[in-house]
Amino acid sequence: MYWHLDEDQRFLVEAARDYARAELIAKDRVWDATEQSLGDELPSLAEMGFMNMRVREEYGGLGCSMVVYSRILHELAYASPSVSVTLSVHNMVGEVLQKYGSEELRRQMLPDWGKAESLGTFAISEADAGSDPSSIQTRAELKGDYYVLDGAKMWITNALSGRWFMTLARTGEGKKGICAFWVDGNDPGVERLEIKGKTGIRGSETAALHYTQVKVPRAWLLGEDGQGLEIALAALDGGRIGIASQATGIMEACLDEMTSYAKQRVQFGHPIAERQAIQFMIADSAVELEAARALTLHAARLRDSGEPYTQAAAKAKLFASEAANRVAYRAVQVHGGAGYVNETRVERLARDARVTTIYEGTSEIQRVVIGRGLKG
């Protein structure tokens, strides 16, 4: 279903759907089985235009609305949740640069943002600063025309193939002592340590970063001095729409897989799709998918219209991610023993769904955001 899309927008979404289902499902299985980065797919993703979806046309991007962007992430996640989150993070970082970077920095960086070698990362979390980014310890000291960064980051998506790191670092004390910096990952002093053994989304890169005396030009400060935490939290609002979109893509894939299997699997002389217990699981999943889609697209529409959307994004991310795990559970259950081995796709989708309740703010953090908003 396409809500309020014109012909060109519908073409983009359908192109993403066709490409994803033809090219990514089989590759995603290989990435998962081998814990191999999807980095080799980046040139194809760039050629399709997926790497600069949210960059404005004046800088060479597609200038997609948030609704279209959400729909494309959904279609990509249907085939490969790893691809979807990789692009969600990259496009989110591009938006940060577009909004908070100086005009000189935007003109320098954004025209190449759609290239595979320009992959962006969101280097916020640390070992002791996950849900609470205000407790970061990475430091930046101003020395003449450069800031010098020292510290470590943890659980950073895209950090192996990534070139540009939007990084939070501390220049002073308290929340106002945090700044956002644009860091070149090829500079001396940037060390990347791959994290292996993830439960799911194994094609998506995750790494720890170490900064040792990394020099960042003073002009590469994003926003104002002390605005770093504000920038990061604003970026996460948009990122939550991306992860909600990823979750709905996973849900639709699970629903299709369980429905197809239920029609084929015969027990007691009849397809199990004729059994009420199975019908109820499929029906509940279909309802939750539509509800998650509606919440996600509502948040996307609010952002497109310039209205406040923090609450809507938190609600969409909370519901869609939790529902994705419920639907994935049912999909495995409908498959029975076959759903517990990696020969069937639902086993992989169930593992991929799990992290959607964790990154871009845990479900618990979403409830805090929603609760604070209700209090006023």
Domains and CATH numbers, the chain: 7-118 (1.10.540.10), 120-226 (2.40.110.10), 230-375 (1.20.140.10)
Tokens of 351: 């593992």
Residue 300 pLDDT: 97
Token reading at 77:
């996640």
- 106 and 117 Cβ atoms separated by less than 8 Å: no
Quick one: how far is CA 188 from the chain centroid?
A: 28
User: In whole angstroms, how far apart are CA 321 and each of 72, 94, 286, 293, 333?
Assistant: 17, 24, 15, 11, 19
CA proximity to 201, closest of 353, 44, 39, 361? 353
Burial code (b: 16+ CB inside 10 Å, e: under 16) for 320-356 equals bbbbbbbbbbbbbbbbeeebeeeebbbbbbbbbbbbb
CA angle 152, 123, 45 (to 5 degrees): 135
The model's confidence at residue 1, banded by pLDDT at 50, 70 and 90, is: very low
Compute the distance between CA of residue 64 and CA of residue 318 in angstroms, rounded to an integer.
24
How many CA within 13 A on the CB side of residue 40?
8
Q: What is the pLDDT of residues 156-190, one digit of tens each?
A: 999 999 999 999 999 999 999 999 999 999 999 99
Specify the pLDDT at position 3.
58
Residue 293 near residue 70 (C-beta atoms within 8 A): no
Provide the pLDDT for residue 376. Answer: 79
pLDDT in tens, 113-147: 999 999 999 999 999 998 999 999 999 999 999 99
CA angle 283, 271, 81 (to 5 degrees): 50
Integer CA distances (angstroms), 37 to 94, 158, 202, in order: 21, 9, 7
Is residue 271 over pLDDT 70? Answer: yes
Q: Which position has the token pair 């959607």?
A: 356
The residue type of 164 is W
218 pLDDT above the threshold of 80: yes
Which residues carry out catalysis?
Answer: 360
pLDDT digits (tens, 9 = 90+) for 4-56: 788 999 999 999 999 999 999 999 999 999 999 999 999 999 999 999 999 99
Percent of the chain at pLDDT exceeding 90: 98
